[in-house]
Amino acid sequence: MTAQNDTTHTRRSILGASGGAAAALAAGPALAQATTAAKSPFTVAQTTIPIVGTTDVFPVRRIYCIGRNYAAHAREMGSDPTREPPFFFQKPTDAIQFVAPGTVADHAYPSLTKNYHYEVELVAALKSGGKNIKMEDALSHVYGYALGLDMTRRDLQRALGDEKKPWEIGKSFDQSAPIGPLHRVEQVGHFKDQRISLAVNSTVKQNATLAHMIWSVAEQIVRLSEAFELKAGDIIYSGTPENVGPVVRGDTILCKLDGLPDLSIKIV
Ligand code: MN
């Protein structure tokens, strides 16, 4: 008798639950409207990047980064570029630190690291996206380009990699993505073989051309879109050439890419 009651009770619960779900489904459009009208208890800032030649800003949706996209850098990181293809990781959108041309932005040396590295990179910004984008269509999704830095807590990245843990804390921390303003494709065209370089305190450390990228920007878009649905507002850090290295407080980094203004930060 008790067992039967329990069964009845269980059945009622299930019926009740599914009845509730059905009611929620029936009220779907009304609920969706209510959600749209609902107020948030606080606001979350939208990360944006100024667009050169306009008063507009580019809203950033996701920051994708390409790892080991230059063979010489892949080798200095201890991998064999003929055996391991480049790969992706992400930074949080608010890791962006906008740096205006002609200025030297203060960049705080981050917590937890004793080996803080620079990586100068071309950044492509998308105005549209999709899944499984074809090579011939890839560049039509690019809105513009910027010069950026993929700042890295190298000691933490290495230690976590060695432990086969995610290296989030080595790559995806606050202000880890300094960037200059966006230049639209109509202004600067597409980037493929321009010279890219980085100096610390006027000594050149990184110096290469974009032609050395294993995956071109178009190929980066194709490969990324096989793993993620790309959308307007996504930006892609294209990877860094060889000779990455450390900076300490007081150092000034100067990045150059032919066709874009210089990008400079001071580590404080
Ligand atoms: Mn990088």
For 245, the token pair is: 């290295």
How far is ligand 1, taken at its centre, from the CA of residue 239, in Å? 4
Model confidence at 10, in pLDDT bands (50, 70, 90)? very low
Q: Taking 60 as the threshold, does the pLDDT of residue 22 lie above it? A: no
How far is ligand 1, taken at its centre, from the CA of residue 136, in Å? 26
User: How does pLDDT run across 23-63, given as a tens digit for each residue?
Assistant: 444 444 555 555 668 999 999 999 999 999 999 999 999 99
How far is ligand 1, taken at its centre, from the CA of residue 145, in Å? 16
Q: Which residues are CB-contacts of 143 (< 8 A; sequence separation ≥ 6)?
A: 58, 125, 126, 127, 182, 184, 185, 232
How far is ligand 1, taken at its centre, from the CA of residue 42, in Å? 33
How far is ligand 1, taken at its centre, from the CA of residue 259, in Å? 21
Residue range 99-114: average pLDDT? Answer: 98
Which pLDDT score is estimated for 192? 87
For 98, the token pair is: 């906008």
How far is ligand 1, taken at its centre, from the CA of residue 135, in Å? 23
How far is ligand 1, taken at its centre, from the CA of residue 121, in Å? 7
User: How does pLDDT run across 182-217, given as a tens digit for each residue?
Assistant: 999 999 999 989 999 999 999 999 999 999 999 999
Domain layout of the chain by residue ranges: 2-37, 48-267
Which pLDDT score is estimated for 84? 87
User: How does pLDDT run across 121-178, given as a tens digit for each residue?
Assistant: 999 999 999 999 999 999 999 999 999 999 999 999 999 999 999 999 999 999 999 9
How far is ligand 1, taken at its centre, from the CA of residue 80, in Å? 17
CA distances from 63 to 28, 75, 126, 231, 238 (A): 33, 25, 11, 11, 11
Buried b (16+ CB within 10 A) or exposed e, 50-79: bbbeeeeebebbbbbbbbbbbbebbeebee
Which pLDDT score is estimated for 29? 53
Which pLDDT score is estimated for 83? 84
Model confidence at 262, in pLDDT bands (50, 70, 90)? very high
CA distances from 121 to 68, 150, 151 (A): 12, 7, 10
How far is ligand 1, taken at its centre, from the CA of residue 146, in Å? 14
How far is ligand 1, taken at its centre, from the CA of residue 29, in Å? 44
How far is ligand 1, taken at its centre, from the CA of residue 67, in Å? 6
How far is ligand 1, taken at its centre, from the CA of residue 189, in Å? 23
Q: Taking 50 as the threshold, does the pLDDT of residue 7 lie above it? A: no
Q: What number does CATH give the domain 48-267?
A: 3.90.850.10
How far is ligand 1, taken at its centre, from the CA of residue 40, in Å? 35
